[in-house]
Each structure stands twice: as C-alpha cells, then as structure tokens.
Amino acid sequence: MQNFRGEREKGASVLAQARGIRGLSRRDFLKLGGTGIAGAAMLGVAGCGGGDTIGGQGGGEGGESIFTWGRGADTVGLDPINVTDGESLIVTRQIFDGLLDFEPGTTDVVAALATAVPEPEEDGLVYTFELREGVTFHDGEPFNAEAVVFNFDRWREEDNEFHVGGGSQTSSFSYYTSQFGGFDDESIIESVEAVDELTVRFNLTSPLGPFLRNIAMSPFGIASPAALEEDAEGFWQNPVGTGPFQFDSWDRGNEVRVTAYEDWWGTDLGEGEGGAGPFVDRIVFRSIPDNAARVAALAGGQLTAADGLTPDDVPTIEEDEALQVITRPPLNIGYLAFNTEKEPFDQLEVRQAITRAINMERIVESFFGDTAEVASNAMPPTVPFFREETEPYPYDPDEARSLLEEAGLGDGFSAQLWYMPIPRPYMPNARGVAQAMQNDLEEVGINVELVTREWGTYLDETGRGEHDMCILGWTGDNGDPDNFLNVLLSSRGATETDAQNVAYYQNPELDEILDNAAETIDEDERRELYAEAQQIIYEDAPWAPIEYAEPPLGFQANVSGYEPSPTGGEGFNSVQLDQEGA
Amino acid sequence: MDTSVAARSGWDDFRRAFLSNRLAVIGAVVMSLFILMAIFAPVLAPYDPINDQDLTSNFAGPSAQHWLGQDELGRDILSRIMYGARVSLTAGLAAVAFATTFGTLVGVTAGYAGRWIDAILMRLMDMLLAFPSILLAIVVVTILGQGLTNAMLAVGIVLLPQIARVVRSAVISVRERDYVEAERALGASHTRIVTSAILPNSLAPLIVQSTLALATAILDIAALSFLGLGAQAPTPEWGAMLTDAFRSGFGVFIEGQHAILFPGIAIALCVLSVNFIGDGLRDALDPRRK
C-alpha cells in the first residue's frame, strides 16, 4: 500500500514537470537531447511545440475549439481508395462519407449517404440504395446517383481515365481488389447504375457475404466527381468529400488539419446513427512518433488526445485527474509473417519450428500487460466464426530444434526479421518485441538480423516481399472474417507489389474455401467453412500470430462523445470539448 | 655543460605544461578508463549486452546483480554501457580519422596552392560550415540511409571543414618561412616540400583540432542514434540506449530513470573528458606559452 502511494505521487510529479516545460525551444532540445540526461524528458514537448498556440484543452485562436489528435505516424495519402494504413483512413474518414457506415462503437452496419441499409434482392445479386437528398460536397457540387456511379466506375475500370492517383506511395486501389475480387471482369460488382437522381442499383456477378460491410468501409468514401475530373492525380493531396469536416492543410510528416463543414447532412441525426455535430471547429492530426513524447505532450496540454499509448502508460494516465483513458474494442491482430516464397521459409518444418521457439506468452505479457491476449487464429475472437478450439502454438524450444533438424537445418541459419519503426495500435513497441524474438530464436540456433525502415518504405518493401520475416498487424475494417483471412492470407493478397499477404502464402485449397465462404449468405455454412480455413492456416503456419490488442487511448478529462470504433476509424463529429475549467 | 639545455626540449615543455593542467589530467585518466573498458568489455561485462534478456524484470532498478539496473528488455545496463564504449569510441575515432585525412588534404592543397584553388576549396568548406552541424549530419544520413556506418561518415563530413580551415591557416603561416624557401631553392618537389617541411610544422593545431573534433563526433553520433538514424537495435550504443528506453513509453520516467540516467552520464563523462584533454593540448602546444 505504502509502495503504491509512493508510486502515485511520483507519477503525478512527473506529469506536473512535463506541464512546466512546455515552452522549451527546439534548440534547447537539441542541446539537451545531445547530452542525453534531462533532454529525454523534454523531447516530446519541444518536438511538437513549433510556436503554435493550439491548446490541448480546446482553447485556441479567437475561442475556436480545436481537437488535437496525437498519433504515431503521419498520413500517407488522403485519397481513401488509394491508401491502406489507419493513419490515412482516420483522416479520410472525417472528410468522406460512404453509402453505409458502422454504428459508433460496433461493427453493425447503419445507413450514411444512403437512407437505409438495403435488403439483398435476387439471392444477393442485386442491391438498391436510396440516397439522401440535398447532400453537397465540400466544393458545392451536389451528391447524387451519378456521383456514386462515377466513383465505383473509377475504382473498378482499369482503363477509366480517373483510375489513377494516390501519389508515389499509392496502394493502387488495392482495397477494391481485396473487397470486391478485382478490376473489370474479375470484379464481383458487375455494374453500378443510376436508376434515377437518388437511386443506385448494384448488380453482382455472384452473392457476396460481406457486401454491405464492405460498402461501409472508409476506403469506399464517395469523392467529388468534379474535383476528380479537375485533378485525379493530385486528389490525394487535395481531397473533397461530403464528410463532417473538410480538408484544410497538410504539412507532410507533421500534421493534417481539417475544419468543420457547416452544411454536413448528418448534423440532425442521432449519435447512435453516426450523426450529430460536428461540435469542434477544427481537428489537427499531429504525428509524434515517440510514445513517451506523445504522452508527455498529452500531459503537458499540447494534445487533446493521444493514440498508441503503451500499456505501461495506462496507470500513469488513469491516476492523473486531468486525463482519462478510453479503450478501443479489440478488432486486430499482430503477427510475425514468414516469407513463404523464400528459403528456408518455404519449408513447413522451419515455420513450425519458429512458432515453437518463440515464447509468445511471455512477450505478450511483458509488452502488453492486460491490454492484449495471446493470438491463436489469424483473426480476433470479436469476429464472427472465430474458431475457439485453436490453441496458441506451444512454446517448446526442444521441439523447435528437432523440427529444424528434420528440415536439414540442425546447425541453424541466418535470417532477417523486420520490425515496424513506429507504434501501431496492434503493437506499441515492435522494436522491443523484435528483440525479444531475436533472443528466443538465438536459443534454437537461428541467427536473426533486425531490420527496420521508415514507415512508408516499410509497407512498400514488405509489400514487395523483400523481407525474410516481418512483424506486421491488421486492424479489421468491417468485422467480417473475410476482411482478415481473405485480405491477409489468400493468393489474391499475394501480389507482386502492395501485397497485403506479406507471407506470400498461396494455398489453392484455402482460396477455394474462402471464396465459397464469401459467396454465401448462409450463416451455418459460413461458420463451417471459416472453421476449416482457420484450421488449415494453423497447420500451415504462414504466421506466428502474436496477439489481439485492446488499444488504449488517452484524453484530456474534458473530452466527451468520443466513441472508439473497433475498426480504428471513428467519426470525430460527435466529439465535444467541455469548456469549463479549460 | 650543454645537457641541461638539451633536456629542455619541446617534448619536455609540452609534458610539463600538460601535466600542470589539472582538468586535462583528469580528462586523460577518465578517458583511459573508458578505453580500457572498451577493450576489455568481454572480460569485464557481467552479462551479454544483447542476449541476456529478462523480460520479467524490465526497468528493475540497481541491485547487487545489476549495479546500474536493467533496461526495457531486462538487459544489464552496466554491460551495455561497457560494450557501448566500444561502439561509441570506435565510431567517434573513425569519424575523426575520416575528417582528419580528408580535411588535411583539402587544407594543405588550399593553403599551399593558394589563388583560385584556395578560393574554390574554402568556399566549399564555408558552404558546409553554414549548416548547424547536427542538421547537416541528419541531412547526410537521410541521403545515405540510416545505420552506424553512415552516421560515422556523416559526422566525418560535418567535421571536415573545421579541420581543413585550421590546416590551411597553419600551412599559410609556414609557407613563406626560410626553411621552406630553402627546400624550394634546393629544387625539392612540391610533394617533398609539403611532407617534409610544411606538414610537420603545422601539426600542433591539427592535433588540438582533431582531439576537440573527437568530442563532437562522439556526441553527434550519440545524438544521431538517439534520433534513430545511427546505431540500430540491438546494438548497445549509448544514444540508442537512451532512445530504446525512451520509446518503451512514458512509464520510463517513473520506474526506469536509471535506464536514461546512466547512458546519459556515460556520454557526458566521455565527451567532457575528451574536451578537457583537447583544452590541455591546446594550452600546452600554444607557442606563446614558451
């Protein structure tokens, strides 16, 4: 008890110190940072100062309320269909609306730009959406059936003149491919037609189980056709949608700013339907890669909210009365993928050996504490049709050694293990996890070289298969098993560039099961097929699954109305800043 | 009769002057300890700096088993600092060796050749000097790619112009001396004049500048590693140790201050003692003292 009290007081005083030093300049930081002693504590505060007058509590220029969101990395692009990373989609989510959306805090589908969630017609081959009236894009252009058709045509047709954009790190419409089967003839959406001004009909080549959930995903936000016609190549830097906030500015590597869109259609809707607001005048998405620096900035009042807390930070923040912690419902997985196209990872025994050589339970406990559980399947238990019977791979170095023996690698071998340079929601400290794995693998004679790259490059190069093994993770977009298994482990995801299947695992048997499961709307049949799929993945071991995390978020105590989405992409329209005492 | 005069040679003067500077002596002693630590790290270090992890006791404070405590992966901080001395010192020396070699080359060429060659080379050096050193180092590492080798190279490039400038002015000051004229009158080649007459007589300022550059090099390499551009995990480099502890979360300030404190002290001590040595050398080699 005594000890606990002591800890508390110490924690409070450190936070108080962090508040006291917010005025530090960058030069001071460099001086101190070099000497290394006190400088470390101030990096974050100084690193994000920049002479800006934005207050974390929401006070700003002329009484403007500003919500400053601190996160681990900057946005890659703002054309939602041409990105895959969460830091891009959390911004585009505010600027764009889809036809459908997820109910705040869940993965249940609700209407957004459509007036209602449509029922499948003709056994799931046709869906008809009625659209909201009087919606306008931020550039003043009207939203209508033609706009929806324009966007779907742009995504689907490879020879469409607007099938371009996204900048140098574009994902090349990869979300369309992964959710709807491919472009042109391979696309499950055969055509989209405007029946009248406010009615759109989708014709499918075959039924698609997760169709409505797919439509609700952030990448399928409807963009302004006029803006795309003007400059489709540059749209990723100048996005125009119908969302609650409109794009203001983007300082690359530092922050993205959006401002409230007064004519948003959702203002009069209830919060439970994804409406209400926007209440704050401006949102600043600020990137502070360093975990400790970000928390220091939150404690020091430079941020209204901080994403990517490490589990160790949770008690510190909970004990501070000026701050609060909100956890995100878990819908993610962190994993170590083996590049199955490279030797020796093409051998099953080698992959199995590694899964047994790593003490995952110990790693999860020390790096995640209570905020995660050890993973067994390739998707988290919050996703329907999760296979309960699968147990995490056992930790057994002796078996690992004999498996390596069997593979003819009794003397061990050398390989690269790539880890993410920045904290992700599914893994706040990949560097630590990687070093712990290196240690475990060393035990069984595998000599591991650790490799990392700048975040954009990391995604790019792992997406080309340049790694031997890499740590990555995935936050689900729509809560459907298809969104985990099909995206991450089917042959379709094992593309030459921008691969989502970074294990390059290609198993025709699994592909067929996943295709069948996706093409049926029968629940029992889907359950059976997905159980089989998870069993196959477990046996083939293309990954060593690490953990399912429940990512904690830190806020100033005056924030209300923030409802974290399991998908990681919540709308900020309902967020309010209580001005009292701020 | 002549012996007493002979005994008061330049070396003797130098030694006396250096030893009378208390800070310089302290610096030399501390530095020798660091060098010994670096050389004998495998013998002295109680644990393996990379592989002796103990995740259950991360950030455990100093104890009888771990004198300086444990870091975010439960590794022994003392052992990592010892091995870190190897990394930091060799990286610093390599950077200075690079800067000294090429800086001398540039400085001698500019000072000896004079005229437009001098003008061009010195304007180039001025351009490099115009940037704050750490910023320039960051730019160079960004171009070359992160990693310890590139960080060494970057710091070497940053230090180069200072050395070149010092060497150039020394060369200019001896260029017109009688002994150089004598060599020239005897028909010696340019190379011979430079190596036998000019360089040996320009050595004093070069030694001082190189020593001071070593301090900057060690600090800058640690700073680059701290920013994630130099030594990469799991290399036990002092700057990288700071950033490793730091990145594991804000909790480090509450339960793991030692993981920040001790590598920081190692950097500070090392840099300080090299600076003291440099100052001592400068005073001892200053001709005005004689």
pLDDT score of A62 = 56
Q: Does A432 touch chain B (CB under 8 A)?
A: yes
CB contact under 8 A, B55 and A362: yes
The amino acid occupying position B133 is S
pLDDT digits (tens, 9 = 90+) for A220-241: 999 999 999 999 899 999 999 9
Strands (E), A348-401: 372-374
pLDDT score of A580 = 52
CA atoms within 13 A on the CB side of A446: 31
Residues in chain A closer than 8 A to B50 (CB atoms): 439
CB contact under 8 A, A36 and B134: no
Residues in chain A closer than 8 A to B220 (CB atoms): 34
Expressed in angstroms, the distance from the first to the final Cα of chain A is 33
CB atoms within 10 A of CB A495: 18
Q: Which of B226, B252, B268 sits opposite A292 (nearest CB)?
A: B252
Q: Does B71 touch chain A (CB under 8 A)?
A: no
Torsion angle of the four alpha carbons A362, A364, A366, A371, in this order, in degrees rounded to the nearest 10: -140
pLDDT score of A277 = 79
The owner of tokens 């995935």 is A474
Backbone angles phi, psi at A146, to 5 degrees: -60, -40
Residues in chain B closer than 8 A to A41 (CB atoms): 253
Residue B76 and residue B67: Cα distance in Å, rounded?
8
Backbone angles phi, psi at A413, to 5 degrees: -160, 175
Residues in chain B closer than 8 A to A299 (CB atoms): 250
Q: Which of B250, B255, B274 to probe by mutation at the A interface, max A CB count within 10 Å?
A: B250
Min Cα separation A294/chain B (Å): 8
Largest CA-CA distance found in chain A, in angstroms, rounded = 72
Q: Tally the residues of chain A.
A: 582
Which residues in chain B come in under a pLDDT of 70? 1-9, 249, 251, 287-290
Query: Mind listing the pLDDT tens digit of every residue in chain A (582 residues)?
Result: 333 333 333 334 444 444 443 333 433 433 333 333 333 333 333 334 333 444 444 444 457 899 999 998 899 999 999 998 889 999 999 999 999 999 888 888 899 999 999 998 888 899 999 999 999 999 999 999 999 999 999 999 999 999 988 888 888 898 898 889 889 999 999 999 999 999 999 999 998 888 998 999 999 999 999 999 999 899 999 999 999 999 999 999 899 999 999 999 888 887 777 778 799 999 999 999 888 889 989 988 999 999 988 887 888 888 888 999 998 888 999 999 999 999 999 999 999 999 999 999 999 998 888 889 999 999 999 888 999 999 999 999 999 999 999 999 989 999 999 999 888 889 988 999 999 999 999 999 999 999 988 888 899 999 999 999 999 999 888 888 998 999 899 998 888 888 899 999 999 999 999 999 988 888 889 999 999 999 999 999 999 999 999 989 999 999 999 989 888 888 899 999 987 544
pLDDT score of A455 = 83
pLDDT score of B30 = 96
Residue B85 and residue B36: Cα distance in Å, rounded?
9
CB contact under 8 A, B249 and A30: no
pLDDT score of B12 = 83
Q: Does B249 touch chain A (CB under 8 A)?
A: yes
pLDDT digits (tens, 9 = 90+) for A160-213: 999 988 888 888 898 898 889 889 999 999 999 999 999 999 999 998 888 998
Relative to beta strand A199-204, strand A189-196 is antiparallel
CB contact under 8 A, A37 and B58: no
Residues in chain B closer than 8 A to A45 (CB atoms): none
Nearest CA among A307, A548, A328, A313 for reference residue A426? A548
H or E stretch including A336? strand A332-338
CB contact under 8 A, A11 and B261: no
Residue A290 and residue A301: Cα distance in Å, rounded?
16
pLDDT score of A14 = 42
B residues 150..209 contacting A (CB < 8 A): none
In chain B, what are the domain boundaries? 3-289
Two tokens, residue B97 = 């060796």
Q: Does A296 touch chain B (CB under 8 A)?
A: yes
Residue A296 and residue A15: Cα distance in Å, rounded?
7
Residue A370 and residue B251: Cα distance in Å, rounded?
15
Q: Does B142 touch chain A (CB under 8 A)?
A: no
Two tokens, residue A26 = 């960058």
CB contact under 8 A, B53 and A436: yes
Two tokens, residue A385 = 């049709």
Residues in chain B closer than 8 A to A438 (CB atoms): 234
Q: Which of B72, B134, B226 sits opposite A36 (nearest CB)?
A: B226
The string of DSSP codes covering A281-320 is SEEEEEE---HHHHHHHHHTTS-SEE----TTHHHHHHT-
For the domain bounded by B3-289, which CATH number is listed? 1.10.3720.10
Two tokens, residue A28 = 């001071």
pLDDT score of A477 = 81
Phi-psi region of B267 (alpha: psi -120 to 50; beta: other; left: phi over 0): alpha
The string of DSSP codes covering A51-115 is T----TTS--GGG--EEEEEESS--S-S-GGG--SHHHHHHHHHH---SEEEPTTS--EEESSBS
Residues forming beta bridges with residue A418, ordered by sequence position? A451, A470
Q: Which of A30, A37, A312 sits opposite B264 (nearest CB)?
A: A37
The owner of tokens 């560039």 is A497
pLDDT score of A338 = 96
ipTM above 0.85, yes or no: no
CB contact under 8 A, B233 and A43: no
Min Cα separation B19/chain A (Å): 28
Residue A534 and residue A389: Cα distance in Å, rounded?
10
Residue B47 and residue A134: Cα distance in Å, rounded?
70
Min Cα separation A46/chain B (Å): 14
Q: Does B55 touch chain A (CB under 8 A)?
A: yes
Q: Does A449 touch chain B (CB under 8 A)?
A: no
The owner of tokens 């000097």 is B129
Residues forming beta bridges with residue A554, ordered by sequence position? A306, A325
pLDDT score of A23 = 38
Min Cα separation B259/chain A (Å): 10
Min Cα separation B22/chain A (Å): 23
Two tokens, residue A421 = 């340079």
Residue A333 and residue A424: Cα distance in Å, rounded?
11
pLDDT score of B9 = 66
Nearest CA among A546, A505, A476 for reference residue A334? A546
Phi-psi region of A312 (alpha: psi -120 to 50; beta: other; left: phi over 0): alpha
Two tokens, residue A190 = 């055969």
Residue B180 and residue B17: Cα distance in Å, rounded?
29
pLDDT digits (tens, 9 = 90+) for A18-36: 444 333 343 343 333 333 3
Strands (E), A372-492: 372-374, 413-418, 446-451, 469-475
Residues in chain B closer than 8 A to A33 (CB atoms): 223, 226-227
